[in-house]
Structure 1
C-alpha cells in the first residue's frame, strides 16, 4: 500500500462544526464556542507539517480522508471513592454521545482546506472516520486529539518513455 499524501496528529479537544446562528445585527456566528480552537489546532498542525514541503500544492484530485478522533471518557464512566479512576463495568466501549461524528469530520475538513492541504473539501470523495476513547483502539491517543491521513485516490500516471 502506498503512503498517505498527508498525515498529522492533532492535539486538542475535537469539536463539531455546528449550526450557524445570527446575532441581533444579522451577522452569522458559530453556535459552538469549541469549534474555533479545534479548527485552529488542526490548521496549526497541518501548517507545521506543510512547512517541511516547499513544493506542496493543495490537493485538487479525489482523496480519502481517514481520521480517528480521540475523546476523553466522561467522569460518570468511572467509580467514586476507592474506585475513583476505575472504569465501571457498565461504561460503554465506544463513544456514542455528542459530539456527532459527521460534524467532527466537517470541522476537520474545513480546517484542512483553510491550511491548504485540500483545494476544497469537495475533493473528498471518501471518508473513514472513527470516534474512540483515550487509549482504547487503533490510533487512539493518550489524550484528546485526532490522527488524520489523506490518501490520493487517483492512480499515479506512468511516465512516458
Structure 2
C-alpha cells in the first residue's frame, strides 16, 4: 500500500476537502458466511483476509492524509466521492469498456466508508449524506485503487 496524500485545498466555495488515494485492488464488503464450531455460531465476511487488508490500506491512507493536512474529525454532514480503478481481468474482451460485473459498486463503497470511520475521518459513516461513486478499469499506465474525496456539506 502506498498512500499519496494531497494538500487540504479550498474548493471553489472555500470548503476544505480531504483527498485520499489508496493503491491496490479494491475489495468489496459484502455477504457474510456463517458456520458453527463446537456449538457456537460464527459469522465472518466471505472475503475476510482480502477485505481486512483493503480496509487497513484505506484506513492507513486516510490517516496519513489527515495528518498531512491537519484534518479534524467531522461530526457534521458530509459529501463523499469514491472513484475506483479496477484491474482489467485478462479474460475480459476488449469490447467490454465498463466493469459491469462484480465487484458491486455499493459493496466497494461500504468497505471504504467503514474504513473512513475507523480512521476517524468522520465520527460515523452515517454523516455521509451525499455519496458519488463510480468504477472503471485502470488503464495500462494506472495502478488500481481508489480516490476518495471527503468534504463537509454546507
Which TM-score bucket, shorter chain as reference?
A: 0.7 to 0.9
Q: CA deviation at 1:53?
A: 4.3
Could you say which residue in structure 2 is the equivalent of 1:124?
128
* RMSD (CA atoms): 1.8
Runs (5+) with no aligned partner, structure 1: 79-87, 155-161
Quick one: which of 2, 7, 13 aligns to 2:25? 13
Determine the C-alpha separation between the residues in 2 that align with 1:4 and 1:149. Answer: 10
State the secondary structure of the residue aligned to 1:104: helix
Quick one: which of 28, 49, 63 aligns to 2:65? 49
Runs (5+) with no aligned partner, structure 2: 1-11
State the secondary structure of the residue aligned to 1:23: strand
- Output aligned runs, 1:1-161, within 5 Å: 1=12, 2=14, 4-24=16-36, 25-33=40-48, 34-54=50-70, 56-77=71-92, 88=94, 91-135=95-139, 142-154=142-154
Q: How many residues align?
A: 138
TM-score, L = length of structure 1 = 0.78
